[in-house]
Amino acid sequence: MLEKESFKLVVEAIEQLEMGFQGLPEFNSSFELDNLRNVLLEVATRMQDNFPYPHPLYVGQMLKPPHPIARLAYTLSLWINPNNHALDGGRASTIMEKEAVNEIAQMFGWKIHLGHLCGGGTMANLEALWVAGKVKPGLKIVASQQSHYTHERICSVLGIPFVAVKSDRQGRMNLDALKTLLAAGDIGTVVVTMGTTATGSVDPLPEILELQSQYNFRIHADAAYGGYFTLANNLDTKTRAAFDCLKAVDSIVIDPHKHGLQPYGCGCVIFQDPKVGSFYKHECPFTYFTSDELHLGEISLECSRPGASAVALWATQRLLPYTKEGQFATELSKSRKAALTLFEKIQGDDRFLIAFPPELDIVVWTPRATSASAASEIAKKIFASSAQKNLHLAIANLPVEFFINIGAEMKLDQDYLTCLRSCLMKPEHFDWVDDIWQLLQHATDQV
Ligand SMILES: *Cc1c(COP(=O)(O)O)cnc(C)c1O
Is 90 in a helix, a strand, or coil?
A: coil
Q: Among candidates 420, 418, 424, which has minimal Cα distance to 358?
A: 424
Q: What number is the average pLDDT over the span 125-144?
A: 98
Distance in Å, CA 226 to ligand 1 centroid: 10
Whether 124 lines ligand 1, by a CB cut-off of 6 Å, is no
User: Is 264 in the same domain as 170?
Assistant: yes
Chain segment 419-434, per-residue pLDDT in tens: 999 999 999 999 999 9
User: Is 350 in the same domain as 428?
Assistant: yes
Q: Among candidates 365, 384, 120, which has minimal Cα distance to 254?
A: 120
What's the mean per-residue pLDDT of the chain? Answer: 95
pLDDT for residue 310: 98
Chain segment 288-318, per-residue pLDDT in tens: 454 456 678 888 999 999 999 999 999 999 9
In a domain, 231, yes or no: yes
pLDDT for residue 29: 83
Chain segment 227-272, per-residue pLDDT in tens: 999 999 999 999 999 999 999 999 999 999 999 999 999 999 999 9
Whether 255 lines ligand 1, by a CB cut-off of 6 Å, is yes
Distance in Å, CA 263 to ligand 1 centroid: 14
Q: What number is the average pLDDT over the span 368-381?
A: 96
Distance in Å, CA 123 to ligand 1 centroid: 9
User: Is 185 in the same domain as 293?
Assistant: yes
User: Is 315 in the same domain as 354?
Assistant: no
Q: What number is the average pLDDT over the span 104-114?
A: 97
Q: Which residues contact 181 (CB under 8 A, 6 or more apart)?
A: 142, 163, 165, 187
Distance CA(340)–CA(333), nearest Å, equals 11
Q: Is 147 within 8 Å of 190 (Cβ atoms)?
A: no
Q: What number is the average pLDDT over the span 193-205?
A: 98
Residue 373: pLDDT band with limits 50, 70, 90: very high
Distance CA(118)–CA(120), nearest Å, equals 6
Rg for the chain, CA atoms, rounded: 23
pLDDT greater than 60 at residue 285: no
Distance CA(187)–CA(214), nearest Å, equals 12
Distance in Å, CA 255 to ligand 1 centroid: 7
pLDDT for residue 298: 82
User: Is 271 in the same domain as 347?
Assistant: no
User: Is 200 in the same domain as 239?
Assistant: yes
Distance CA(115)–CA(113), nearest Å, equals 7
In a domain, 29, yes or no: no
Chain segment 355-367, per-residue pLDDT in tens: 899 999 999 999 9
Residue nearest ligand 1's atom 8 by CA: 121
Is 10 in a helix, a strand, or coil?
A: helix
Distance in Å, CA 147 to ligand 1 centroid: 10
Could you tell me the CATH number of the domain that includes residue 389?
A: 3.90.1150.10
Distance CA(110)–CA(106), nearest Å, equals 5
User: Is 349 in the same domain as 256?
Assistant: no
In a domain, 177, yes or no: yes
Distance CA(398)–CA(421), nearest Å, equals 10
Provide the domain count of the chain. Answer: 2
Residue 6: pLDDT band with limits 50, 70, 90: very high
In a domain, 41, yes or no: no
pLDDT for residue 288: 43
User: Is 281 in the same domain as 408?
Assistant: no
User: Is 255 in the same domain as 364?
Assistant: no
DSSP state for residue 26 in the 8-state scheme: P
User: Is 369 in the same domain as 290?
Assistant: no
User: Is 278 in the same domain as 349?
Assistant: no
Sign of the CA dihedral with 98 first, then 100, 103, and 108 last? negative
In a domain, 68, yes or no: no
From the CA of 267, give the closest atom in ligand 1: 7
Could you tell me the CATH number of the domain that includes residue 210?
A: 3.40.640.10
pLDDT for residue 256: 98
User: Is 146 in the same domain as 244?
Assistant: yes
Whether 193 lines ligand 1, by a CB cut-off of 6 Å, is yes
Residue 87: pLDDT band with limits 50, 70, 90: confident
pLDDT greater than 50 at residue 287: no
Residue nearest ligand 1's atom 12 by CA: 224
Whether 64 lines ligand 1, by a CB cut-off of 6 Å, is no
In a domain, 78, yes or no: no
Q: Which residues contact 73 (CB under 8 A, 6 or more apart)?
A: 308, 311, 312, 314, 315, 316
Q: What number is the average pLDDT over the span 401-420?
A: 86
Determine the structural domain holding residue 347 and report its residue range: 334-446
Distance CA(330)–CA(336), nearest Å, equals 10
